[in-house]
Chains A and B, each alone.
Chain A
Amino acid sequence: MNIVNILEEIEKVDGEIYERLNPRRAAMKSFFNIGKKISLAAMPLALGSMFQKAYGQTTLPTAVVDVLNFALSLEYLEYHFYNHALLGTDVTFTYPTAAAKTAITTIRDHEKAHVDLLVGALGSSARAPIAYADTDFRAGGTFATVYTDYNTFLAVAQGFEDTGVRAYKGQAGNLLVSPGVLQTALQIHSVEARHASHIRQMRTAAGTAVYKPWVSLGASGQANDSGVPQVDAVYAGEDLTVQANVNIANITGAPNATAAKLAAVESFDEPLDRASVITIANLFLQPGKKLS
């Protein structure tokens, strides 16, 4: 990210940018002073906050606001899902190890950080908060034992994480107009992938089946490798083996066609379009609270 280029690009469409920034010299100075101390990771946020100060809170392009609110909805869902698993009085399963509970706590804390970060970036454009009461993680009975059976809980968790990875990936192109926001979204995206990897390892540790840390093919060669047919939609299209007209199965170095197809599927994660993500998310939201 090069702030000079960003400012010059803005100047092309807004000749007043430097004038707008000028009255807020104090904000600019603190922004650059912070820049000396904080990591590149936080720069986009600081940049976003600077532009908010320059333009007011409605300066993010509408398309970007839409993406961020969409992401915020998913982060609220994930946060409540894990937070309830840690604090809910109706949760009857026990964590098999202290490490398992610590991992869920780590993930919950990240989802909370994502919620706070997105709310902060959106300012007054942020959607209304989603409360736990707005959710239905039993999905109308499809996952009735989500908070009474540890394995069900982990299966739904895997679905959430793998959906999250796909959802951010699907929106990246819409954020090209805002490099700072794109940077931040990418950094959330890969954290969700780390979560997904760990949840898959937790599932393997907790049961008899093996779930690879990466998205593979199911036992019958289907796209859904989670062993839970109810979440087929989460994995629809994950079995792609051709990328940008390159047949990946031909170039993995795997010893046979079966292994080569698996490697081709595993080596690229696929995006999921917004409508498909919303259909999945709405399974876990109460009537009247569903996304559109």
Chain B
Amino acid sequence: MTMKNNEPIRKSELQEESLFEKAVGRRSFLQYAGASAAGIALVAAGCKKDRGYPDMNTGVTLDFKDDFGVLNYAYALEQLEAAFYVKVASAPPASFTAAQKAYFQDIQFHEIAHREFFKAALGTAAIGSLEVNFDSIDFTSASSVLGTAMAFEDLGVSAYNGAGPRIKSATYLLLAGKIVSVEARHAAYVRDLISNGSFADLNSLAPLGANNAGGLDAALTPDKVLATAGKYIKTKINVINL
């Protein structure tokens, strides 16, 4: 037919338009695209509809329906960090300098403070204590300890940054902000110990959501953070309403 032969390009544009307009529908397209772009809604739907509610009898549950869920998420991560630094500070790698030992002890106190703060602030809403799994860490090796510290600090920064917009209360948002900048200071310090000048190497942080062109630090959604942190946590963490 004439149309087919003479206007193939136009036809294909129309087909594309038609798919966009009719087959999916404007509003459902927005929802579908929004879900896949943000990677959040599909996960949440998967939790609720496909698998049903997780078994509450095992592990802890982070219910992201409200700010308590976000605070418990932070509490879980602070438990992990504190457990790590308690172990490092109690028996630092032999090659650590006196200054490094002192700063790792400082960081230990900071992380304990964060952990205990969340526990106290959450009160009866707090999740239980997590059991950690540090089998993959060689606590006698400076490179293993520093590498793990960097991973935890950068992940912590990405977690707080990614969770910030989920917080509804200005008070809680500010408290998270008071903590995340301390984590970022830790991260920069540890990074500089590993490689001086890498304190804010945003290209290397791109897998955690950083954007060097915008001068933007890491930010990850809780599902991604927990997938990474899970390697170090024995306790099962159930996530709902994400």
User: At the interface, yes or no: A12 with Cβ under 8 Å from chain B?
Assistant: no
Interface residue B181 (Cβ < 8 Å from any Cβ of A): yes
Number of A-B contacts (CB under 8 A): 259
* A197 to B179 CA separation, bound complex (whole angstroms): 14
Contacts of A133 in B (CB 8 A): none
Which of B27, B178, B186, B217 is A187 in contact with, Cβ under 8 Å?
B217
The answer, yes or no, to whether B52 is at the interface (CB within 8 Å) is no
Known A-B contacts A190-B157, A251-B113; the reply to A106 vs B185 at CB < 8 A is: no
Q: Is the CB of A2 within 8 A of B40?
A: yes
Asked if B219 and A186 sit within 8 Å, CB to CB, the answer is yes
- Interface size on A, as a range, is 35 or more
Q: Convert A179-190 into 0s and 1s, putting 1 for each residue whose CB lies closer than 8 angstroms to a CB of B.
A: 110111011111
Q: Pick the interface stretch among B4-12, B54-62, B158-166, B231-239.
A: B158-166
Q: Are A194 and B188 in contact (CB under 8 A)?
A: yes
Q: Are A190 and B180 in contact (CB under 8 A)?
A: yes
Task: Let me know if B215 and A117 touch, CB within 8 A.
Answer: yes
Measured in the bound complex, the distance between the Cα atoms of B215 and A45 in whole Å is 12
Flag if A188 contacts B215 (CB, 8 Å). yes
Do residues B113 and A252 form an inter-chain contact, with CB atoms below 8 A?
yes
Question: Across the interface, do A32 and B37 meet the contact criterion of CB distance under 8 Å?
Answer: yes
A22 within 8 A of B: yes
Cβ contact within 8 Å between B113 and A165: no
Within A251-292, which residues are at the interface with B (CB < 8 Å)?
251-254, 259-260, 262-264, 266-271
Q: What would 17 A/B residue contacts be, using CB atoms closer than 8 Å?
A: A2-B34, A38-B211, A40-B39, A40-B220, A117-B215, A169-B177, A172-B164, A172-B170, A176-B173, A183-B165, A187-B219, A189-B180, A192-B181, A195-B188, A197-B187, A244-B121, A268-B182
Instruction: Give B residues with C-beta under 8 Å from A.
Output: 20, 26-27, 30-31, 33-41, 103, 106, 108-114, 116-117, 120-121, 157, 160-162, 164-165, 167-168, 170-171, 173-175, 177-189, 192, 196-197, 199-200, 202, 206, 209-221
> 4 tightest CB-CB pairs across the interface, nearest first?
A113-B215, A173-B170, A35-B37, A197-B188
